[in-house]
Structure 1
Amino acid sequence: MTPNGTGPNPNAVKMAAALRALQKLQDKHHGVVESKDLSDEQRDLLVGTGFLKPVLKGWFICGNPKDLPGDTTAWYASYWPFLSGYLTKRFGKRYCLNPEASLLLHTGNTTVPRQVTVVTKQGGTQVVKLPFETSVLVYPDEKRVPKTRADVRGLQVWPVAEALCLVGPQFFTHHSREAEIALAMVRDPSELLTTLLAGEGMPTAASRLAGAMAFVGRTQDSAAIVNTMKSARVHVQPKNPFELEQPTLPPSRERSPYILRLRSLWSSWRQVVIDNFPPAPGLARDIEAYVHQVEERYRSDAYNSLSIEGYQVTEELIERVAKNGWDPENNEEDNASRDAMAARGYFQAFGAVKESIRRILVGGNPGYILKADHREWYSELFGPAVAAGILKRHQLAGYRTGPIFIRNSMHTPLPRDALLDSMEELFRLIAEEPEASVRAVLGHHLFVFIHPYFDGNGRIGRFMMNALLASGGYPWTVVRVARRQQYMDALELASVKGDIAPLTRFLAEELQAEPEARGAAE
């Protein structure tokens, strides 16, 4: 109200107007804001309240007022939209990412890079410093901006085949997974030969690509490159640029970079898991005794798993909701309690997971069972929020319908249009994997890597891990909140650096913790 109490507070009116203006910009420019897009008053108000975060002089991104200093989430979440908006506003379409950066985007690399190289048709060389030690190197070279470009994430990039011809041998050693995926995305060697035969020909690149094709098992395509170049009087001697002992991808007709990445990760990681995880005891013979042990772990698991996600959970709350002492319709405290809803949902989901485990213990294929049951787990996990009117019923229907970001992670979960195929592939990999340890560790991590839901991915991922541990006779394993940072660091190393060993060893340690420690609500 105004001082005399006759109307709305003018500061509130200004704030509402600024937020409306920001919402329009967010919808139009994906949260990338230039100074001139807002009035000085609106911009200062939004920056002061934390709704806008400065990136560089004259440029901003949308922020969350609750973010603490040093929180990287807003920047990593906005990185690609910012880069697209910034480059488009500066150069229109008169630019292109260099071949290396182009291939990383084409192949679904999900990590925010430290630096991206951009080639423009005019201007000067410049290093644009961005938040959290990221940057953009811009330099002019009209000959390195192709006439035909692809658009990935709103950015101008080289087409896959042309980029493969232009990258040096270091790309195949430093980014071997992306190189394999890019080769798999090339349907026919003619796509490469168009570039390899241009001008005076590219014998070194042709030798490299012929060797690469032979390494990944496409011997006919390798021979086609050699023979076609020979017909053009260019001598080519195939040379394998990879330093891998064997390819991580078998030849296939699959062209989705996300499915190819999942296959490559699984293939290259499975032996690491086997080497760093205890051998499976074997499927439990006494099903009821095993399920009883699972039930005994409920209190500890609920406390630790919910606490890892940031819920303020007490032993009393867990006990109360486990005994159905939760009534959102008639109890005002329960209706307003996010923590109570989370605890009740966890209790219901835990029960659904137990039933899935029973089916696994009688010999069902764990991949098929998880594929069929994980949606029910999710529905039970968030059913109380629907009952309380916090979520709409349709939000229980399926996977997320938009982007999502993991707090302070450089890993960007898969885009919505890749979710269905990627989840289908994940369950196929689980179903065909003979080692329970591999199913449990990689099933857990790759589910979180994909991040198919708007919320609950960590909890569902840990449920999945324990159901898959049961498929090898391992005990239900609690990831303790006291070790939350080690857990998050290990997940980040696997997602960003491609190193699954720390997560494998971490989960093995939690598996082998003394029962007292495993059950402690630390």
Structure 2
Amino acid sequence: MSTLQQLLREIDAKQKRINKQRPLEQTKIKNLKDYFKVGLTYASNALEGSSLTEIETKVVLEDGIAVGGKSLKDHLDAIGHGRAFDWMWELAKGVAISEEDVKKMHVLCFQPSEGEQAGEYRHVNVVITGSQHNDRLPSHEEVPALMNAWAVGLPEKRKNRHPVQYAAQLHQEFIVIHPFADGNGRVARLLLNHALISQGYPPVIISPVFKHEYIQALEQSHTKPENFTAYIAEQALQAQRDYIRLLRIE
């Protein structure tokens, strides 16, 4: 049995324990949403260089208070990601995701800080710093057709793959296309979590402490996509463990 197959078996076993506790009370669902919103917003923005701590992110999102000594950009990024998380959470009441949903997610993340670029596919070719696979990135002229094909193909992939495999593949393929000039990582992690939450799995929050491992897994995915799938499966399993502890599930 491969490492990935073993991880998926463990995930399936834990998911059965989680599903036995459902349906949850509405108050508990709201509390979980608020908890994950702060955690994912903090972690996803920190992976991209934000200096806000998790507590500071909570203050910005829940209390609307500016944090002294922190940049306007960090504040706007937190507020924008919080809006995009709310949209993603509502969208996750169904499993489908469309190309327009992706564009709206990007708009919510980055307006007004990115102005007219928000929700628009890139008009320039890009280079990812530190990557050995920039030759694999499509030109900006190719992006619209690739994104259309990516979105059209999602239902078939969702039907034929384990939910965690599907979520990892969705994230990985989106990053390879790199459709936006900026913000691809944050949108990719929101899409990853839409795929998981919509099928009953706890959200995956990739800690900035493990940024190197995450970036390395993404880099390897250009030639060995199964490595990234295994990495996401490990993260999903840890998310389940945290969820079980959080809700004190026996």
* TM more than 0.5: yes
**Contact 1:370 1:464 survives alignment (8 Å):** no
- Structure 1 unmatched runs, 5+: 1-270, 386-390
Cα 1:395–1:344 change in 2 (3 A) is same
- CA distance in 2 between counterparts of 1:324 and 1:293 reads 18
Find the partner of 1:376 among 92, 104, 128.
104
More strand by share: 1
Match of 2:123 in 1: 401
Please state if 1:453 is matched with 2:180. yes
* CA distance in 1 between partners of 2:118 and 2:68 (Å): 24
Q: Shift of the alpha carbon at 1:294?
A: 3.6
Q: Is the 8 A contact 1:279 1:437 kept in 2?
A: no
What secondary structure, in the 3-state scheme, does the structure 2 residue paired with 1:472 have? coil
1:511 to 222, 236, 239: 236
Q: Is the 8 A contact 1:441 1:465 kept in 2?
A: yes
> Deviation string for 1:177-213 (max 9, x for gaps)?
xxxxxxxxxxxxxxxxxxxxxxxxxxxxxxxxxxxxx
Give the number of the structure whose residues are more often helix, by fraction: 2
1:417 is aligned to 141
Q: In the TM superposition, what is the alpha-carbon distance from 1:319 to its structure 2 partner?
A: 2.2
Q: Partner letter of residue 402 of structure 1?
A: V
**CA distance, structure 2, for counterparts of residue 316 and residue 482 of structure 1:** 16
Matches within 5 A, 1:145-160: none
Post-superposition, which runs of at least 4 consecutive aligned residues in structure 1 deviate over 4 A?
Answer: 271-276, 280-285, 287-292, 331-334
2:192 match: 465
CA offsets per residue over residues 321-367 of structure 1, 9 Å max, x none?
Answer: 2136268xxx9978x52211111111111111111112x1xxxx42x
Distance 2:68 2:45 in 1: 22
- Structure 2 SS opposite 1:440: helix
Q: Which amino acid aligns with 2:80?
A: G
> In the alignment, which residue of structure 1 is the partner of 2:227?
502
Unaligned segments of structure 2, at least 5 residues: none
Q: Deviations over 1:393-449 (max 9, x none)?
A: x22241111111212001222111111111111112211121322320100111111
| Match 1:347 to one of 60, 63, 82 | 82
Give the match for residue 428 of structure 1: 152
Q: Aligned ranges for residues 2-401 of structure 1 at < 5 Å?
A: 277=8, 278-279=11-12, 281=15, 286=23, 288=26, 292-323=31-62, 325=64, 337-358=72-93, 360=94, 365-366=95-96, 369-385=97-113, 391-392=114-115, 394-401=116-123
Amino acid aligned to 1:511? A
Deviation by residue 1:134-154 (Cα, 9 ceiling, x = unmatched): xxxxxxxxxxxxxxxxxxxxx
CA–CA distance in structure 1, aligned partners of residues 122 and 65 of structure 2: 28
Alignment RMSD (CA, Å): 3.1
Contact 1:494 1:503 in 2 (8 A): yes
- 1:36-80 CA distance string (max 9 Å, x none): xxxxxxxxxxxxxxxxxxxxxxxxxxxxxxxxxxxxxxxxxxxxx
Q: 1:299 to 1:323 in 2, by over 3 A?
A: closer
Counterpart residue type for residue 474 of structure 1? Y
Distance 1:377 1:272 in 2: 33
Q: Indicate if the aligned counterparts of 1:444 and 1:462 stay in contact, CA closer than 8 A.
A: yes
Per-residue deviation at 1:491?
A: 0.5
Per-residue CA deviations over 1:240-285 (Å, capped at 9, x if unaligned) read xxxxxxxxxxxxxxxxxxxxxxxxxxxxxxx996675334948976
Matched to 1:372, the amino acid is: E
Distance 1:306 1:397 in 2: 18
Identity %: 24
> In the alignment, is residue 479 of structure 1 matched against residue 206 of structure 2?
yes
Q: Which has the higher contact order (CA 8 A, sep 6+)?
A: 2
Residue 471 of structure 1 deviates from its aligned partner by: 3.2
Relative distance call for 1:500 and 1:420 in structure 2 (3 A) is same
Report the equivalent of 1:442.
169
